[in-house]
Structure 1
Amino acid sequence: MVTVLFLPEGTSVRVAAGTTILEAARAAGITIDSPCNGAVVCGKCAVTLPPQDLERVVEKGAHQLSPEERGRGQVLACAAEVHGDIAVLVAEGQSLRDLKIASQGESATVQLAPHITKEYMPERGVTRVYGGGYLLSEEDGDTAKESFGVVVDIGTTTLVVSLVDLAKGSELAAASALNPQSRHAQDVLSRIKIGSEPRGLEKLRSGVIGEINRLIDQVASAAEIGRNRVYEVIFSGNTCMLHLAAGVDPASLGKYPYLSTLACAAWIPAAGTGIDIAPEGLIYLPPIISGYIGADITAGLQAVRLHESEETVLFVDIGTNGEMALCRNGKIWATSTAAGPAFEGMNIRYGMRAGEGAIERCSVSADGSLELRTIAGTEAVGICGSGLMDIVAELVAHKVIGRNGKFVEPDHPALSPKLAERLVERDGRPVFLLTDNVWLSQKDVRQVQLAKGAIRAGVEFLLREAAVPASELKQVLIAGSFGFHLTAESLTTIGLLPAATAGRIRFVGNTAKSGGEAFLLNHEVRREMSELVEQVQVVELANCTDFDRVFVEALSF
């Protein structure tokens, strides 16, 4: 056995010799970003060791680090096997503790008619708790006004928990955190693979349930209420996240025809999942549209009341999975695209989550000078998703990046001198310097092209299926925690959305949470949305014969 000490947390763990630093970190509860889940291909999990400890690790296939990085004592956590006691410095920001997560979203007003109701019986001195009219439990004394529920937005990357007073219909507190499943895999497909094995499923389930319990405790403490007065939890998330949180094998989502094995639009006992609320508490799983269009989108459609719109409206939740719906004359089409993790800052050389020091805004002045804004106003250490979109959009608009996605030559006549001097080479390849220590590479631009091309292709097929020209769209609603931080200009400049949508784009925030609150506050909404999802026409992009052609066309800026 060997000891691995993680700094600056000061947490240590004993592991078997030959264990990788990444595996040791997971055993110690230390989060090190590893988008490729230890496949030694992304290069994101670099950590630093003291010189005397380098000889106590053996690396396997680690080739993503530069000579300069190796000279600073850096190794890839997923590739470095530990064969002696070592200390490991996890870079600031890599532990992902202080993420900037959007928790607010637009929501239509609903009548207060919750599934959970209470009735005080003065003749017996007890309060009855009902779920949908059925008796769940009895409590001593008059607790009729103490009735609360929770909405959990289970995102692939983040968790948002909202505590709601069911008697008054108001939100009392909200809290957010990183989804701990990110320690094991960043994307949905990797989690399906892990969760298809009993041990892997339990690891992913217990991790997310533990963090949800911690967040529920946090909001309950903030509102000064007991957890035993929380009677219902709404799980709002994509279909895979619901499977994992409920402890249901997600294997069927990873193979055609991508069907859910989890019964949604249904309740399960909270105690059976490990969620720590009232003993007879319930978890409601909202209806889903398909294996890859989940309850988060159903909640989003409810939040913006898309089906009631008299206009032609496009709803897009931008993230690792680009889920979208189009409404015209009361009819809805929906699809999902695999945009990949670039929008989360992953697969990007200096990409990072939306934490302190991440570049989140970029603009180019008339003279070509660069203006950058970082989260918390600190020195730039990386680029988060919104910053990445801004940067690429500005470089496209100022001719630094051509329509084909390639950097132009520094002597290009359309290029201002100040921008030209930022086009340099690193490791023999062209990059654009943002600061002396952070830059955008040609490979990074390619990742943005692939991500935005996937979403644009999904939009084009929805428009085609509905026989709607882009010019007919009266509104484009951008949902999601990531989408909330974007700018409309960047979306049309890079071509993620058609140019015809300029001036019609509105950001609606975290509708997975706000729509989930509507489920919590009005039981009729659940029936209504269950009926609606049965009418949605799912557009399966895998069955579209010319998808490749449309996707390639969508890559251009």
Structure 2
Amino acid sequence: MVTVQFLPDDKRISVPAGSTILEAARAAGVTIDSPCNGAVVCGKCVVQLSPDDLARVVEKGAHQLSAEERSRGQVLACAAEVHGDITVVVPEGASLRDLKIRSHGEAAAVELAPHITKAYLPELNATRVYAGGALLIEEEGDTVDESYGVVVDIGTTTLVVALVSLTSGSQLAAASALNPQSRHAQDVLSRIKIGSEQRGLEELRSGVIGEINALIGQTVAEAGVDRDRIYEVIFSGNTCMLHLAAGADPAPLGKYPYTSTLTCVAWLPAQATGIEIAHGGLVYLPPVISGYIGADITAGLQAVRLHESEETVLFVDIGTNGEMAIARDGKLWATSTAAGPAFEGMNIRFGMRAGEGAIERCSFQADGSLELRTIAGTEAVGICGSGLMDIVAELVAHGVVGKNGKFVRPDSGGLPAKLAERLVERDGKPAFLLTEKVWLTQKDVRQVQLAKGAIRAGVEFLLREASVPVNELQQVLIAGSFGYHLTAESLTTIGLLPAGTAGRISFVGNTAKSGGEAFLLNSASRREMSDLVQQVQVVELANCKDFDQVFVAALSF
């Protein structure tokens, strides 16, 4: 056995020799960012060792740290096997509450008719709380005017909580944070794998529920209300996120036919889930379309009323998962693609979440000079998803990156001198210098290609199944917290959307949350969407025989 001490938490743990630092950290209850779940590919679990301690670890596998970083005692926690007693310094990451997360989303107005109602009985000096007409609890005194609900958008990467008055229909407060599950694994498939074991499932469940409770506490403090007057919580998220939050086994989602073990269109006792609201309060699980098209899309369809549109409309929620639907002549088709974490800044050399110092906008001037904008206007320390899309789009538009995704040679001619001089080598490989401390690698560009190719392939198959030529698309609605920060030009320049959609693209924000609010405020909308999901035609990309060819074609810029 060897002993590992973690600073600044000052926690110690004894583990078998040969265990990785990441395994020791998890055993000790120390949080280290590891979005790839220890697959030694994302390069985000960097920790610091002294020169003496560095000699007591053995690094396994290829990884992204440079020789200079290793010489400073930096190692990847998932790749460093411990063979002696060591002390590990875990760097403090960006605050979970300093992230730039979009919480607002467009939504159609609904009549105020919530599932939760109240009635005051003067003769008893008591207020009865009903859920769908059934008695839920009884409270002392007249509390009719104190009736609240919460919507939780459980994103793969982020969480958004909104506190809503059930008597006025207005949002009183909202709060957001990183989904703590993303510290263990950034993508859905990895979380399904972790959650398929009871210990992993409990770790993922308790983490997200704890953060949701903290956000609820933040909203009630801001609004000055009593959390014991919150009677219902709506969980809006993809099917896997609902499973993990409810503590349901997600394993069947990871294998054909990708079925849910969780009964949606159902209520769970809030107390059983760990959600801290009124005693007897409920958690509502909205209908899902399939194992990979979840309640976030159902809520999105509700928010934009896609099924009522008289136009031909494409709805795309861009994030770690690329979920999308198309409406034509009153019919709906939907599909989902595994876009991966690149859009969230993961698997990118200097990728980061949308926190202070992240490059969020980039533009090239005619003379080849760059204009960079960072969150909070501070020195650039990394690149978030919207900045990544901007940078790659500019590189493609100005010929620095070819249609095949490769950097051109700096001496190939045709580039302004200021651009050509930014094409450099880092660790013996081509890179594009953004600042002296931040650059984009060829591998980064490939990650963007894979992510955008997956979404574009999904779009192509939806158009095909619905028999909709691109020129007949009248609207393209881009949803999601991440999607809201993009530009229409970057989406068409890199080919994530067909060029023919230019001028028809609108950004509708966080419809998973705004649609969830409609569920909270109008119980009839729940029945409506439960009926609607039965009519949606699911396009299973895995069953499309020419998917590989379409996907490869979609990789081109």
TM-score of the aligned structures, taking structure 2 as reference length: 0.96
Partner of 2:311: 311
Q: For each residue in 1:357-377, what CA deviation from the matched residue of structure 2 results, as whole angstroms up to 9, or x when unmatched?
A: 111110000111011111111
Partner of 1:276: 276
- CA drift of 1:183 comes to 2.2
Q: 3-state DSSP class of the match of 1:100?
A: coil
Structure-2 separation of matches of 1:30 and 1:328: 50
- Alignment root-mean-square deviation, CA: 1.5
C-alpha distance 398-62 of structure 1, shift in aligned 2 (>3 A)? closer
- CA drift of 1:502 comes to 0.5
**Structure 2 unmatched ranges of 5 or more:** none
Partner of 1:486: 486
C-alpha distance 271-506 of structure 1, shift in aligned 2 (>3 A)? same
Whether 1:88 and 2:89 are equivalent positions in the alignment is yes
Partner of 1:435: 435
Partner of 2:145: 145
Amino acid at match of 2:173: A
Whether 1:113 and 2:113 are equivalent positions in the alignment is yes
- CA drift of 1:141 comes to 0.3
Q: Is the 8 A contact 2:47 2:88 kept in 1?
A: no
- CA drift of 1:295 comes to 0.1
Q: Is the 8 A contact 1:4 1:85 kept in 2?
A: yes
Q: Is the 8 A contact 2:99 2:353 kept in 1?
A: yes
Q: 3-state DSSP class of the match of 1:280?
A: coil
Structure-2 separation of matches of 1:277 and 1:26: 30
Partner of 1:414: 414
Q: For each residue in 1:243-269, what CA deviation from the matched residue of structure 2 results, as whole angstroms up to 9, or x when unmatched?
A: 111111111101111111111111111
Q: Is the 8 A contact 1:11 1:28 kept in 2?
A: no
Partner of 2:37: 37
Q: 3-state DSSP class of the match of 1:535?
A: coil
Q: Is the 8 A contact 1:360 1:373 kept in 2?
A: yes
Structure-2 separation of matches of 1:396 and 1:36: 28
Q: Is the 8 A contact 2:345 2:383 kept in 1?
A: yes
Q: 3-state DSSP class of the match of 2:55?
A: helix
Q: 3-state DSSP class of the match of 2:409?
A: coil
C-alpha distance 61-449 of structure 1, shift in aligned 2 (>3 A)? closer
Aligned pairs (5 A) from 1:193-342:
193-342=193-342
Q: Is the 8 A contact 1:56 1:86 kept in 2?
A: no
Amino acid at match of 2:85: G
Q: 3-state DSSP class of the match of 1:450?
A: helix
- CA drift of 1:87 comes to 4.2
Structure-2 separation of matches of 1:393 and 1:529: 37
Q: Is the 8 A contact 1:47 1:91 kept in 2?
A: no
Q: Is the 8 A contact 1:13 1:27 kept in 2?
A: no
Amino acid at match of 2:491: L
Q: Is the 8 A contact 1:265 1:284 kept in 2?
A: yes
Structure-2 separation of matches of 1:28 and 1:487: 43
Q: For each residue in 1:261-312, what CA deviation from the matched residue of structure 2 results, as whole angstroms up to 9, or x when unmatched?
A: 1111111111111111111101100000000000000000101111111111
- CA drift of 1:100 comes to 1.1
- CA drift of 1:157 comes to 0.8
Partner of 2:394: 394
Q: For each residue in 1:85-143, what CA deviation from the matched residue of structure 2 results, as whole angstroms up to 9, or x when unmatched?
A: 514041553x6552111111111111100000000000111000000000011100000
- CA drift of 1:51 comes to 3.2
- CA drift of 1:413 comes to 2.7
Partner of 2:14: 16
- CA drift of 1:214 comes to 1.1
Q: Is the 8 A contact 1:26 1:183 kept in 2?
A: no
Structure-2 separation of matches of 1:80 and 1:435: 30
Q: 3-state DSSP class of the match of 2:44?
A: coil
Structure-1 separation of matches of 2:553 and 2:115: 48
Q: Is the 8 A contact 2:64 2:349 kept in 1?
A: no
Structure-1 separation of matches of 2:335 and 2:246: 24
Amino acid at match of 2:339: A
Partner of 1:457: 457
Partner of 2:367: 367
C-alpha distance 88-62 of structure 1, shift in aligned 2 (>3 A)? farther
Q: Report the more deviating stretch, 84-93 or 412-421.
A: 84-93
Q: For each residue in 1:410-467, what CA deviation from the matched residue of structure 2 results, as whole angstroms up to 9, or x when unmatched?
A: 1223211110000111122111111111111111111111110110010011111111
- CA drift of 1:5 comes to 3.4
Q: 3-state DSSP class of the match of 1:11?
A: coil
Partner of 1:378: 378
Q: 3-state DSSP class of the match of 1:458?
A: helix
C-alpha distance 199-29 of structure 1, shift in aligned 2 (>3 A)? closer
- Aligned residues with identical type, % of pairs: 79
C-alpha distance 96-140 of structure 1, shift in aligned 2 (>3 A)? closer
Structure-1 separation of matches of 2:105 and 2:184: 29
Partner of 1:509: 509
Structure-1 separation of matches of 2:483 and 2:388: 13
Partner of 2:3: 2
- CA drift of 1:215 comes to 1.1
Partner of 2:448: 448
- CA drift of 1:26 comes to 4.1
Q: For each residue in 1:475-503, what CA deviation from the matched residue of structure 2 results, as whole angstroms up to 9, or x when unmatched?
A: 11101111011111000000000111111
Aligned pairs (5 A) from 1:127-146:
127-146=127-146
- CA drift of 1:208 comes to 1.0
Q: 3-state DSSP class of the match of 2:503?
A: coil
- CA drift of 1:58 comes to 4.0
TM-score of the aligned structures, taking structure 1 as reference length: 0.96
Q: Is the 8 A contact 1:393 1:490 kept in 2?
A: yes
Structure-1 separation of matches of 2:492 and 2:176: 30
Q: Report the more deviating stretch, 206-215 or 61-70.
A: 61-70
C-alpha distance 160-28 of structure 1, shift in aligned 2 (>3 A)? farther
Q: 3-state DSSP class of the match of 1:258?
A: coil
C-alpha distance 214-64 of structure 1, shift in aligned 2 (>3 A)? same
Q: 3-state DSSP class of the match of 1:478?
A: strand
Amino acid at match of 2:450: L
Amino acid at match of 2:6: L
Structure-1 separation of matches of 2:200 and 2:151: 26
Structure-1 separation of matches of 2:287 and 2:93: 40
Structure-2 separation of matches of 1:241 and 1:473: 31
Q: For each residue in 1:342-369, what CA deviation from the matched residue of structure 2 results, as whole angstroms up to 9, or x when unmatched?
A: 1111111111111111111100001110
Structure-2 separation of matches of 1:58 and 1:412: 42
Amino acid at match of 2:128: R
Q: Is the 8 A contact 1:317 1:480 kept in 2?
A: yes
Amino acid at match of 1:235: F
